[in-house]
Structure 1
Amino acid sequence: MNPIRYSFFGTALTCLLLLLCIHTSMGQTKLLDSLQAAIDRYPQKDTVKVGLILKYVKAAVNENTTRLEPYLLEMIAISKAKNYRKGVRAGYGTAHLFYTDRGDLAKGMAYADSSFLLMEGDTSKENMIQKAYLHHNVASDYNKMRDYEMALYHYSEAAELLGKYQPQYIYRPYSGITEVYDHMNMREKVQEYEQKTIEAAERTGDSSAIAQRYLNRISRLINAKKLDKAEQYLKEVEPTVLKLDESLLLYQYYQNMGSVLYERKNFSKAYQYFQAAYEKALANDDMYLQVMVLYQLAESAIAGGKMPEAKQYLDTLLKKSVASDMKFGEQSAYKGLAAWHEKNGDHQTANEWLHKQLVLNDSIASQDVRDKLAMTEVRFKVRGKDNEIKMLQDEREIQRLSIRQKNTLNYILIGGAAALLIILLLGYRVYRNRQKLQQQRISELETEKQLTATEAVLKGEEQERTRLAKDLHDGLGGMLSGIKYSFQHMKGNLVMTPENLQAFERSMDMLDSSIKEMRRVAHNMMPEALVNYGLGAALNDFCNDISQSGAIQVSHQFIGLDKEKISDTTAITVFRIVQELLNNVLKHASAKTVMLQVAKNDNTLSVTVEDDGKGFDTATLDRSGGIGWSNIRNRVEFLRGTVDIQSVPNSGTSVLIEIPL
């Protein structure tokens, strides 16, 4: 768990949180045991017990312990029952950190949303500081999910609040912003915020903070292949890191040293440093860090000739990645296992692992979208539940005041019954009108939030498709082409039996098929024609590819698409809609021909898809659990468009979509 994130508890806990970052394993175990004994000895469920549990939670949240969760949930339950806001707030904040650091992002984000709701209306300095750190921690979660737009938003909110209430710690959100810009390859912004981060950290005089910022800079220098500069900074920061003896700093230091040595071809030394980093990640119970360094360990072992050790680390990487649902680690494991078998001369098994990597790459984009939608659904359910509780509390308060008012009026308004009745009727009417207005406003806000969430999901999906398409084409494509060249060169230098020659030729055919399939997948994920020439050209290429495949004959017509440019977001979304509609025809319609027409008329874009297939009952769409139709409907709603489907059994299907521009 990142030590920066513990600052959620506010200024009153700063000293304790800094102490938590120092690895004192034996003393920490004794402290946890004594705190647990104190909790168990206290029978009452009151604020005193909440205070005891809170001390235990602060001490245990950074430890590898399974005992924390039941105490944490008990603290939240008691605090809610006693209406103890401080306990509820601390419990929600710690639960967010606990679950997200263990890979349950949906559950962690639900607690974060509850914390934000609890903080509304409180303008005290302590609350504003805690809100700043909650924004920082949520930004870190979005960064892990590669939702860089939301990560930048929350880091910026954290920076604004810290700049006002706790400027000495503003280097923390600055560091996060630097990391986001680094992921987005915005070099000028990286340099700007990296310098701001280091300057802000140096102003605090905190050795740990300064060392952390320099280690982050070193990581970026290594990625940019500036090894001399990275090595210089490593020598400068080494005494501080070793003196502080903090596990997370040591992890990053060892990893950076291993990376530099690996680039220098000193594989034996690199292997030792990666081993040291892995041990620190195990001690800190951080699965994310373990998965990050395991591939580097295996890679250096292969390069250094330690093949049994490399295989063991790759198997561990695959097991941990699958168990924690970390797709990037699973990709690395497939890539490493392919390299391991290639090194051992088992080309067929190597190709099988490469094929698994290709299939995984193709599924990651849609899986990421499903995960984000699931997380969003959980978060909205929690938000709705908290609002429901709040409304019930307000209703009870209104009832109490109403009863008191009626009792008073019974004594002083005996002669004004008629007038009182009129006033009450008017008041009731005003009350009902206000309720209607409030409900209307709530509905509008919910719709706006759903559109915003859909837009963020679609943008994230397209960004990830673009990145994966480039990685497939430039990375995996180059590697497969290199393998093919090596095989062809090998063929000219070897004398083979007819049987071996035949097997060799079959392998070459399989490799050609893999290269073509990889290029087809990359092209479908983000067609170059869509980026370079616009929607019409991309749809024309897509339809021609389907017709040439022989699966079905596609006739297409595009009207008015070249008159003026359609926005990139609309063009990409319309392309995905058409892509999904034609794929549905191929999979389900059993049609021989399909007609596509895309026409732009004034401020409306219409999409028509008609086939001569077997048709279906359109009433089943609402009950369908298929992801394809759900994707089409979400994209059309995002563009504020309408869908009209007409289908007759054995006579085909017609789909008309109209989108306002």
Structure 2
Amino acid sequence: MGSDSTNYYMERHQELKALRYLQRESELLYHDKNYTELCHKSIHKAQIYTQLKDYSKATKILFNALQIAEKEKLLLQEAIILKHIGICFEQTKNIKQAIYYLRRSEKSAYAQENDTLSAWAQQGLFKIFTEKNNLDSARFYMKRILHIAKNNGTNHQKYIGYSNFAAYYLKTKEYETAKKYLDTTLLYAKASHNLNSLNNTRNNIAYYYLEVEKNYKKAEKLFLEILASKPNDTISLSTSDTYLNLSYVYEKMNDFRKANIYLNKYIDNTEALFNERVSSELRDTETKYKIYKIEDNYKTKEQLLKDKEARNKKLLYIFITLFAFCSILFYFFYQNMRLKQKNKLKDVNNKIQQNIINATIDGQEFERKRIAGILHDSISALLSSASLHLMAYETTHLDESSPELIKTKAIIKEAHDKIRDLSHTLIPPVLEKLGLLSALQDLCEKNSNTLIQFEFTNHIAKESRYNSEFEMKMYFIVAELLNNIIKHSQASKAFISVEQNNKQLFINVEDNGAGFDTKKTEHKEGFGLTQIKARIRSMKGSITINSKPNTGTLIYIKVELPD
């Protein structure tokens, strides 16, 4: 076809020009009704798209050509096209379809008594079944391929036939039989004068020596022969594999210097191949882009009329869609604004409630201190003074023994004891004198009885003291939790443990009682869980309550220690 031929363009990686040429030729052939040559051109076009990995386009072209071949009863072209369709499906891993079209191709070739074409289709089927480990079917086709090759095939066809047998027996690990077929394959590879076939066979035999006989010298010789046969080929994938195989051979022979040399060649070659592959893929992408651009230009005129007709409908659809979108957007915006306002109001209410609770608790604690101070410093002192005056009176009037005087002394003593007990209830003296840890231990001991035992575990030095206000808050929080256990839990044992770590205090309260549903139950007596949670949050802490009915309750408290 001269300088304007398809092969000329393909050799120079000018796929776009090749496709343009084939398109022009196809139009002329279709006009001249030369359908045989038209099918040939279609196959060639499909091969270019396959090379560009555009299997969808390639398959579409082949099916169009198949329709022409079937309509014009071009049986030979039909069988060839079916074979190419099978290859496309096999390359896209659509194995079921690949088998279907390859078998159709084989059947068509057999009907025409075309052994070469039949063996060509059978070779594709053999490859699929071997890869799928369907060895019975693979064995069936490899026998048919070799039978055709023996009868009237070329040396290359015989090479393929024996190569299939060698590959099959290597796969089934029947190595002695495989070696016999490899030797025969080598003879036909040499006779066919096909360097690729010869080197493929050498590579397979070298693999046999390497993995089966462990004869590294023979393997080395064959790999070196492969390299020597193509001195100018330094960056192909097969050469790269040979470098890697030689590196492995020399490693097994303990010649690590040569192993390293060929390993470095393999690495350099792999990098070069990667760069070449990237360049090739970029080139293919560019070519496909240009092809699609040209195809779009062919379709532009036809599309202009359709576009004009559809434009008004599209504008209407766009307007409706835009209106609906804006409506939905406005609805979500409105709902979002409402939700934000609702959440903001909720946050304000929570903050107010938190402040009220904190103020209430702070007021209670202040009143505790104030009342305890009044009781201890004023009333208790007055009662003590009155008791002293009575004692002085008795001393100066020893001869008088009045029952009213004795009764008055008893009343004053009882009042003094009750005021002292009330003062201790408001603020325990152990808390003031010895601190939180001793106060909690004292609290557990006082609340323990025959019905329930409180066990206190302290992991902090007992002499540790904290801010008096902090100690009082934590004491009454724990006291309220113990009070809840006694009132509600029906427990027989409870455990309180205290730890300190990195400026944080950890208190765990656990019981073996009835438990409760944390989502439904709300305690409102005394501090109550709600007030306890509020107080702990105000102290930059957290409280976690784990409880279920009939499983007891476990409460974790973590608070920041005051500076």
Please indicate, yes or no, whether the TM-score normalized by the shorter chain is above 0.5: no
**TM-score, L = length of structure 1:** 0.38
Q: Which has the higher contact order (CA 8 A, sep 6+)?
A: 1
Larger of the two Rg values belongs to structure: 2
